[in-house]
Structure 1
Amino acid sequence: MRERLRRIDLRGAVGVLFAGSVLVSLWLSLGSVGRLAGGVALELLLFLVAIALGETARITILTGRETAPMSTAAALGLALTALSDPGERQVDAAVVVATISVGMVGGLLILRLVTGSARWGGTAARLLAAASAAVIYRSVEFSDHTLIQWQEIWRSERWLVAIVMLVVGTVAMVVELTVEATVRAGRDHAPLVRSIVDGVRSSGGLATALVTSGALIALAEFAVGVAALPLFLFPLLLTYFAVQRYSSIRTTYRQTIGALSSLTDRAGYTRTSHAERVAELSVAVGRDLGMGQRELTDLEYAALLHDLGQVALRAPIPQGATVMAAPADQQRIAHDGAEIVRTTGVLNNVATILEAQTTPYRQVREFGQDLPMSSRIIKVANAYDDLSTPADGDERAMERIHLGLGYEYDPRVVDSLTRVLERRRGRTPLSTG
């Protein structure tokens, strides 16, 4: 039961909430749109276009989280901006949320048409975050006034307005990170709470920048009008190009590691694509165990390079199955691989994982040795791939692994591997209590 609770898949609920927010906001805003003054309608249209274009300009940050900073900043800015017609009647939250909805959904559709695919989870998180900010700022009353009304009352105390905007923006970003982590946890079969904590912790810097940008857009709109939108989105545009460049460098970095890992395949030391299979399985197990994205990155790199030390062998191991080699040979392969990786000067964590990948789990159980979880995962994943054959499937491999349970292999990792394999077969793992 506890295992099921920590892995609840809420993607369906988020999808329903996303669609419901769009439809309800559109329905509630129908009666108000026709009464908007021309200047306000034009300002809403400009925000809508900025949000839509920002939604197509997505970036993937180090943790693997896909985000659209310009869309988020523009949506927050609109949620906090004091739009009003000549009669000083404030634009209600439904119109603001409807504008944000049309912009984000429009951007999502454009991206899907251009690229052929686009994830909706991030869009849903951004929409729900901006909608929460708009509702809190424009509809919820505090001491008989909404925050947008207090903004008019505090017209001469803009610093107080700024603080309130930052607080509301922070709440909105917590909503976004939580919803996005929830979707990602369901998609990747990762623990829900761990995914939320990892998402909030890893994206704090970017979230702070977006909250500040949204507040600045709303504050500057009071002084310079809609010109505040391009004025404060331009720095985010430069950031977008910088992160895109950094992302391309990291992609090249990953490809280089992948090419290095294929040396053992091409030299005949291991079976074809052995390293890729071990890396894929290791990451799935690591994610199932609740590892953070930075840990998963090191785990993936180490799994890709785990057999690199075989290039120093005089004669290849039959089929490259290190699990069948003598313990001394396994340790020498791990040590040689770690030393090769250390020469790069930038993969010290990966080298540490590689050096400990053949250490039996009993060293932890009996002597309290500090054995990295990534090393334990690679040991199990490598054994599984070495022992699996097309004829026998994975049953023989799992039988052999269970024979070494608690001695060679960490029981937690083996249990996680079992869950991953059951999901691959399309079955739900049975509860263990």
Structure 2
Amino acid sequence: MIGKARRPFALVLGLAGLLVSVVVTVVTRDLPAGGNDAGIGVVVAFAVAIVLGEWFLLLAPGFRGSAPMAMASAFGLALTTEVPEGHFVSYGAAFVLAVTAASMTVGTGTRVLAGREANIVETTGRLVAVAVVALLYREAHLGQSPGTPTHSDGLVPWQRALLMLGITMLALVADTLFTSVLRALSATANLRRTFVEEVRSSFAMSMAVAVTGVLIALAAPAMGIASLPLFLMPLVLTLFAFRRYVSIRATYLQSIRTLSRLTDAAGYTPSGHSERVAALSVRVGRELGLSERELLDLEYAALLHDIGQVALVEPIPGGATVLAAPADQRRIEADTVAIVRETGVFEGAARILEHQTTPYRQVRELGEEIPLTSRIVKVVNAYEDLTAGARSVRAREAAVERIYLGLGYEYDPRVVDALLTAIGTGADQG
């Protein structure tokens, strides 16, 4: 993932230059001139829309990053075959892919140079989706080669619309599968689970993108390029609404962080304990390939995992619940879940916290269903309790040694391995 830090200007220019060279070659070969063919203005309009769409990405915790304006515009470019007055758009799939790749590179490169976040895996996945649409519709269905416009595919309008919609949905599935495979491989996670979570987090937006791309192409023969801004307008409005939602969620998270500090202020836990558990839990969750939505619930749960301690008459020494008696741990867990459920808005976090003290042996020996996120909170909380916030090598080694004594009994070995990877990066130092 490309972070918010700036990347070398020469690298971005070099990549953009390479793609521009490819585009020039393909344009020279594919774009017909004269006759009843549409001009370069149609292509430029689509390219500009894709660049703007890549700039205005939808990024937020708990959601798969997407560029709905860019994807809908690219689908429109791949599906449009005619504009008013009998002008035909007769370029081939290679041309569509080259223009889309160059436009995405410009949009993504501009974000990087501006210090904004971007994701190479997700950008490549979008390009894969456009390639699927271009190949299936322009090459396989229309049999369209450069310079040979297709006047009719023999379908009535509603049949053509269903075909376009089916192809775009298949392309979006290909995009999701592509990104899921890469994420599962990078985190050694379960592919099926990763794919299902990706679909769940992006289904609604994917449907909107597919329908918009089809509408742009279907309206082009009557409206021309005016169909592009007209049908993109709902996605533009969605963008503003989503950004407002993200702002509210940021405020929401800040409120949760404030609530989580209640135990610190009351002297039940060391200062910053919950925030350290949350930050490390998210890193461990990423190592295990959790989806963005799961990571968001995990962060909420980790921030609130000790809130039940406020019901104690006497604080636990050092706030270390891992050193408390099992009965006391279960009582704190029950109080925590009751407080979290009382809010009425943290059900996902409550389900995680219901099992934060359950020993791993109940999964191994009894087959009990304990969420992976609960096992993460258990391991990370134990590590933070045992280090007491210290970051020295000796404190870390002593904490890991204690955790190893309960490996396979109290703690999930896979989660412990992910913890070792996370703390080994040095990201939690300082």
Q: Which stretch of the first structure deviates more once superposed, 272-281 or 338-347?
A: 272-281
Contact 1:79 1:134 in 2 (8 A): yes
The residue aligned with 1:160 is 159
CA RMSD between the two structures = 3.4
Equivalent residue in structure 2 for 1:392, among 391, 394, 406: 394
More deviation in 230-239 or 81-90? Answer: 81-90
Deviations along 1:161-211, one digit per CA (max 9) or x if unpaired, are 212211221222122222333454466664445323321333222212211
Stretches of structure 2 that go unaligned for 5 or more consecutive residues are 1-14
Query: 1:382-401 CA deviation, whole Å, 9 max, x = no partner?
Result: 11111134252432222222
Q: Tell me by how many angstroms 1:300 deviates.
A: 2.0
Q: What is the aligned partner in structure 1 of residue 359 from structure 2?
A: 360
Question: What amino acid does structure 2 have at the position aligned with 1:27?
Answer: T
**Using a 3 Å threshold, how does the CA distance of structure 1 residues 217 and 173 change in structure 2: closer, same or farther?**
same
What is residue 133 of structure 1 aligned with on the other side? 133
* CA distance in 2: counterparts of 1:213 and 1:353, whole angstroms: 38
In structure 1, the residue matched to 2:294 is 295
AA aligned opposite 1:202: S
Structure-1 separation of matches of 2:87 and 2:378: 71
Secondary structure at the aligned position of 2:358 is classed as coil
Question: What's the offset of the Cα at 1:329?
Answer: 2.4
Q: Write out per-residue CA displacement over residues 328-363 of structure 1, whole angstroms, 9 at most, x where no aligned residue.
A: 322222222222212211223423432432233344
What is the CA distance between 1:87 and its match in structure 2?
8.2
Query: Where does 1:1-400 land on structure 2 (aligned, <5 Å)?
Result: 24-33=22-31, 35=33, 39-60=38-59, 63-83=62-82, 90-140=90-140, 152-154=151-153, 157-185=156-184, 190-364=189-363, 369-388=368-387, 389=390, 390=392, 392-400=394-402
Q: 1:290 to 1:42 in 2, by over 3 A?
A: closer
Q: Normalising to structure 2: TM-score of the pair?
A: 0.82
SS in 1 for 2:359: coil
Q: Is contact 1:189-1:287 (8 Å) kept?
A: no
User: Which string of whole-angstrom CA distances, capped at 9 and with x for unpartnered residues, describes residues 293-338 of structure 1?
Assistant: 4333322211111111222333332222111122232222222222
Change over 3 Å in CA distance of 1:294–1:319 after alignment to 2: same
More divergent stretch after superposition (118-127 vs 298-307): 118-127
Change (3 A) 1:122 1:335: same
Residue identity opposite 1:347 in structure 2 = F
The 1:171/1:19 distance shift into structure 2, 3 A limit, reads farther
Partner AA of 2:340 in structure 1? V
The CA distance in 1 between the partners of 2:144 and 2:47, in whole Å, is 27
**Distance in 1 of aligned mates of 2:139 and 2:16:** 20
Q: Which amino acid aligns with 1:139?
A: E
Indicate how the Cα distance of structure 1 residues 348 and 46 shifts in structure 2: closer, same or farther if over 3 A, else same. closer
**Hey, what's the Cα distance between the residues in 1 that align with 2:155 and 2:323?**
77
**Contact 1:151–1:161 (Cα < 8 Å) also in 2:** no
Inter-partner Cα distance in structure 1 for 2:43 and 2:133: 17
Q: 1:300 to 1:18 in 2, by over 3 A?
A: farther
Match of 1:8 in 2: none
Query: 2:330, 2:357 within 8 Å by CA — same for their partners in 1?
Result: yes
For residues 192-233 of structure 1, the C-alpha deviation after alignment (integer angstroms, 9 at most, x for no partner) is 453233213332222122111111100100111111101100
Q: In the aligned structure 1, how far is the partner of 2:16 from the partner of 2:191? A: 19
- Deviation of the 1:425 alpha carbon: 2.6
Aligned equivalents of 1:74 and 1:252: distance in 2? 33
Structure 1 residues without counterparts, runs of 5 or longer: 1-16, 428-433
Which stretch shows the higher mean deviation, 272-281 or 234-243?
272-281
Does structure 1 conserve the Cα–Cα contact (< 8 Å) formed by 2:307 and 2:336?
Answer: yes
- 1:118 maps to a residue whose letter is A
- Counterpart-to-counterpart distance in 2, 1:62 and 1:405: 31
CA contact (8 A) 1:334 1:357 kept: yes
TM-score (norm 1): 0.82
Q: 1:127, CA displacement in angstroms?
A: 2.1
Deviations along 1:78-124, one digit per CA (max 9) or x if unpaired, are 11101589885712223322222232222112222334443333222
The alignment partner of 1:357 has SS state of coil
Bigger CA drift: 44-53 or 306-315? 306-315
